[in-house]
Amino acid sequence: MFIVLHLYPVQQECQDQLLEINNKAAIIYKEYGALEDKTLKHNSKKGNIAACMSMTVKESEVLYLGISQYKDKEHYDETILKVNQDSRIHILFEQFSKIVDVTRVINAEFEMV
């Protein structure tokens, strides 16, 4: 199993927009082979995961986590190659970039052991 994580803050007033973008993107990722693609919202100030990731989350922001699942690293690489060739994902990324500071996104990849 190969898991890709994307951790990022978003302004509270942009949450609906974010979820709409992420739901459309999830359809595209799954269409090209992702086993799963979910968005999770951090709903507590307890267990400050942002601090572990050296990220400052402002009072006006909410922390989100995107999780994508693939069979293995090779499957991920094949899927991403296809996804990146789809013009729909570029439009969604442009919309995403308007509501999320992409320089603050933390990405991580994990393999099942």
Pairing status of strand 2-11 against strand 61-70: antiparallel
For the segment 27-72, what is each residue's pLDDT rounded down to a tens digit?
A: 999 999 999 999 999 876 655 665 555 678 888 999 999 999 999 9
Total domains in the chain come to 1
Picking from 6-20, 31-45, 61-75, 99-113, which range would have the lowest pLDDT averaged per residue? 31-45
Domain of 85: which CATH number? 3.30.70.100
The whole-number pLDDT of residue 31 equals 98
For the segment 72-92, what is each residue's pLDDT rounded down to a tens digit?
A: 999 999 999 999 999 999 999
Host domain of residue 62: 2-111
Output the DSSP codes for 16-37.
HHHHHHHHHHHHHHHHTT-SEE
Q: Which two three-digit tokens encode residue 90?
A: 């570029």
For 27, 29, 79, 92, 109, the CA distances from 84, given in Å and listed in that order, are: 14, 10, 9, 11, 18
